[in-house]
Amino acid sequence: MSPAANVLTRAALPGDASSPARQADAAAAPAGQALLQVDGLTLEYATHDRVVCATHRVGFAVHRAERFVLLGASGCGKSSLLKAVAGFLKPREGEIRLDGEAVREPGPDRIVVFQEFDQLPPWKTVLGNVMFPLLASKRADRSDARERALDALHKVGLADFADAYPHTLSGGMKQRVAIARALAMQPKVLLMDEPFAALDALTRRRMQEELLSLWDEVRFTLLFVTHSIEEALVVGDRILVLSPRPGRVRAELNAHDFGLHSLGSPAFQAQARRIHGLLFDDDKQGISA
C-alpha cells in the first residue's frame, strides 16, 4: 500500500467520522458506538503508609479500529489507566465497559504488550510463546494455535526465529514476539504500555513503522500508552492528554493526519507544540494552586 493510500484509509475510519462531536465532549459520545467505554474512572494505589490517587474521574471512548493514545508525563496515571482496562487494577469509582460488558478481571480479550522484555516466559520458544495464550485461554487447539502463531510471526517478520528461545533475541525482536502473540489472539482491544520505551531510538522508529503497517493490514483496536509527544502523534489517530498527579483529562486531540512521513512538517510541529503547551501549562497551574 502506498503512503498516500495509507493516509486515505486512515482518514476514512469509522471512528473518525464522529470526531468533531467527540472533540466537544468525550464522555458524551454515544455509548453504543464505542468498543471501549471508560466513565469517571478514579484509580488509587496504596503504598505502605498512604493511598495515592493516580487518576481522577477520567473518561474516554475508544472505537473499533481506532489507535487511541494515552499521553502524559510520568506520574499522570496513564499506565494505571491501562492496567485498569486490562483488569489488573480495581477502580475506586467509575466503570470500564468493553463491548458493553463491565471489565472485572484480566482476560484474554484484552492482550497487553508490556514495556519490559521479561513478559515472554523464557522457558518457551518464540513459537511456544505466541501459542501460549491461545492454548491457555483454550481459544484454539494445538494445530490451530500453531497455524495462527506462525501466521502472526510471519506478519512481524520473525518466522525464521520460531524455534529460538527469547534470551537469544534482541530487545526489538522480543517486542515483536510480544506483538505477534497479541495479534495471534485477535483480542477485542490491544493494550500497549510504552512498548518501545526500552528500545534504542533507531529500533523504536522502525517498530513504530511496523506497527502502523500491521494496523493497515489487520485493523486492530489499539490503546497505546506513551510519554513521547512525537510517538503519540505518529502512532495514534486520537490522543488523550492527561494532566499530572492525579491524572485528569486535559484534552482529546486528533492525530490521524500524522504518520512517520509527516515528521517535521509544519502541521506536525504545530500540533506537537500545542500538546507541549497543554502538558506543561498544567504543571504551572498545579504549582500555583
Partner 1 sequence: MTLASAPLRPEFERELEPLVDAVPERPLPLAQRLWQQASLRKAVILLALALLWEAAARFADNELLLPTFTQTAKAFVEGIASGELIDKARISMALLLQGYLLGIACAFALTALAVSTQIGRDLLSTLTSMFNPLPAIALLPLALLWFGLGQASLIFVLVHSVLWPLALATYAGFQAVPETLRMAGRNYGLRGLRYVLQILVPSALPAILSGLRIGWAFAWRTLIAAELFFGASSGRGGLGWYIFQNRNELYTDKVFAGLASVILIGLVVESLGFDTLERVTIRRWGVQR
User: Which residues of the chain form contacts with partner 1 (CB under 8 A)?
Assistant: 86, 88, 105-108, 110-112, 114, 116, 118-123, 132-133, 136-137, 165-168
- The crossing angle, in degrees rounded to 10, of helices 126-136 and 142-155 is 130
- Name which of 276, 278, 191, 287 is nearest 245 in CA terms: 287
Q: How far apart, in whole angstroms, are the C-alpha atoms of residue 270 and residue 276?
A: 10
Neighbours of 95 (CB within 10 A): 13
Cβ-contact 81, 240 below 8 angstroms: no
Q: How far is the CB of 133 from partner 1 (least distance, A)?
A: 4
Under DSSP, the state recorded for 181 is H
Query: Quick check: helix, strand or coil at residue 110?
Result: strand
Q: How far apart, in whole angstroms, are the C-alpha atoms of residue 59 and residue 92?
A: 14
**What b-and-e string marks burial along 201-231, b requiring 16 or more CB atoms within 10 Å of the CB?**
eebbbebbebbbebbeeeebbbbbbbbbbbb
Q: Using DSSP, how many helices (H) and how many strands (E) does the chain show?
A: 10, 10
Q: How far is the CB of 182 from partner 1 (least distance, A)?
A: 10
Q: How far is the CB of 137 from partner 1 (least distance, A)?
A: 4
Residue with Cβ nearer partner 1 (94 or 106): 106
Q: Got the DSSP string for 32-58? A: TT-SEEEEEEEEEEE-SS-EEEEEEEE
Q: How far is the CB of 193 from partner 1 (least distance, A)?
A: 10
Q: Which three cell numbers stand for residue 127?
A: 513459537
Q: How far is the CB of 51 from partner 1 (least distance, A)?
A: 20
Q: How far is the CB of 119 from partner 1 (least distance, A)?
A: 5
Q: How far is the CB of 270 from partner 1 (least distance, A)?
A: 33
